[in-house]
Each structure stands twice: as C-alpha cells, then as structure tokens.
C-alpha cells in the first residue's frame, strides 16, 4: 500500500519534469534558432532489486538534454537576419565571457555594432563587428562586405556533444572543463532565420498525454491514501 503511494508519487515527479520540458518547447516554437529539450529516463528499482513497471511510476528522469538538430530555414528578407546551414554557433561576447547561439536575428546598436540576444556583440575574427552602412552583404562563407570591401568574417564555432548548457535568452555557455570549441565550415544564409526544431503537433500530443497521466497518478495516490486511512481506522477499532 505504501509502495503504491511511493510509485504514484514517483510517476508524478517524472510527469511534472516532462510537462515542464514540453511546455517550454511549445512556448519557444516561434523562437528563432531555439533547440528543443528532451527527457532521458532511467528505470527505478524497488527494495527487492526488481525493476518497477513503468505503469507503476517506475521510470525516473535521468537528465534533460538538448536536441541540436537543424531547424528549417525561413526567408525574412531582412539583411540583418542570418542563419547557419549546418553545424556550429554564432559567437557573442560581453567583453569578458563568450556566449553561443543559433539565433541569427541581429541588429545594429547605437555604435553600429552588430548585436544579438541580450544586446551582446556578435563576434567576427577581428572581434566586435562594426557596420557603418546598411548596404552590406554576407556571403555563404560568413565574410561580411560593406561598400564592396571585406570588413570581417563571422566567427562560427562548434562543440563536442554535452559541452554546452542553456544560459537563458536563447544563449548557451560552455560547461566547466568542457573541451575547446572547434572551427567549422558551415554555410551562412543572409536574409533567413533558422526556425525552432520543434514539431508542434507532436509536442501538443505529448502535453495532452502527460496531463492525463499526471491526473491518473494523482487519483492513484488519493485512492491509496483513502485505503490506508480506512485500514488505520479499522485497526483502531480492534
């Protein structure tokens, strides 16, 4: 009986984490360059070293990982919108630390510096990228031209699996003791944005399924609790 309450609670904990992940994915379905999170599971083992059945809440959350697969490219016609077709990340810097992003919805700040999420300067091979003329172009190699002259080249870096963690605002940071980033030759597409790699229909189905399963676990705990309370009351009458 106590085990029933435990497994129900374990099931609710798993569903809660999964619901949070799915909800966040859906909330960012229209965020340029967003990468969805997925939940990795582990089996739970009871006190007798037997695997607990999944329907009994016997699956726990091992970790939440990010799916870095390519999103579709959408044409915007905005010359400041850049997308990466292939591997790698744009590099941004606050002057002290670097951040990384697939969100190429850029703009110029008051000083003419190309900036991305949180107003962080986008990094080229020469540092901050300064564009003094709106008549500029970026070729597929990431080279930036203004008035027909090469002014810089976008810095695009790639990382081994597991090296990055989400840092908010559609940015990533390097984990402690992570391997050094690698240069990568991916194509840059000007006037396009990478869409989130999210299947909205699939995530909505998950949301409905998880909500129902969460409610079922709640009912199971309530039933077990009621049964336990009656057993204690009956024992008191003996």
Read off the pLDDT of residues 188-221 as tens digits, 9 standing for 90 and up. Answer: 999 999 999 999 999 999 888 877 766 666 656 5
Rounded to two decimals, what is the model's pTM?
A: 0.78
What's the pLDDT tens digit per position in 145-182? Answer: 998 899 999 999 999 999 999 999 999 999 999 988 98
Confidence of residue 43 (pLDDT cuts 50, 70, 90): low
Q: pLDDT of 70-104, one tens digit each?
A: 999 999 999 999 999 999 999 999 999 999 999 99
The SS3 of residue 108 is: strand
Backbone angles phi, psi at 87, to 5 degrees: -80, 165
Of 49-63, 101-115, 116-130, 162-176, the least confident: 49-63
Q: CA distances (Å), 233 to each of 40, 219, 223, 228, 236, in order?
A: 42, 21, 15, 9, 5
| Mean pLDDT of the 98-127 span | 97
List the Cα angle 116/117/120 in 5-degree steps: 60
pLDDT of residue 201: 95
pLDDT of residue 17: 83
Q: pLDDT digits over 6-40, tens only?
A: 454 555 567 788 888 999 999 999 999 999 999 88
Mean pLDDT of the chain: 84
């Amino acid at each position: 009986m106590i085990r029933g309450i435990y497994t129900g609670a374990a099931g609710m904990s798993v569903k809660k984490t999964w619901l949070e992940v799915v909800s966040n994915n859906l909330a960012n379905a229209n965020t340029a360059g967003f990468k969805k999170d997925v939940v990795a599971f582990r089996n739970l083992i009871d006190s007798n070293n037997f695997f607990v059945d999944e329907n009994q809440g016997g699956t726990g959350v091992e970790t939440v990982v990010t799916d870095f697969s390519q999103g579709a490219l959408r044409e915007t016609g905005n010359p400041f919108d850049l997308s990466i077709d292939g591997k790698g990340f744009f590099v941004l810097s606050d002057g002290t630390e670097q951040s990384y992003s697939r969100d190429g919805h850029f703009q110029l700040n008051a000083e003419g510096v190309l900036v991305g999420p949180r107003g962080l300067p986008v990094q080229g091979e020469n540092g901050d990228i300064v564009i003094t003329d709106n008549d500029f172009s970026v070729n597929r190699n990431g080279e930036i031209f203004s008035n027909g002259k090469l002014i810089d080249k976008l810095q695009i870096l790639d990382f081994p699996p597991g090296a990055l963690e989400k840092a908010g605002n559609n940015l990533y940071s390097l984990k402690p003791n992570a391997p050094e980033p690698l240069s990568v030759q991916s194509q840059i597409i000007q006037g396009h944005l990478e869409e989130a790699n999210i299947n909205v229909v699939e995530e909505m189905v998950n949301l409905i399924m998880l909500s129902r399963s969460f409610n079922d676990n709640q009912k199971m705990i309530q039933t077990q609790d009621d049964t336990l309370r009656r057993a204690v009351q009956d024992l008191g009458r003996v």
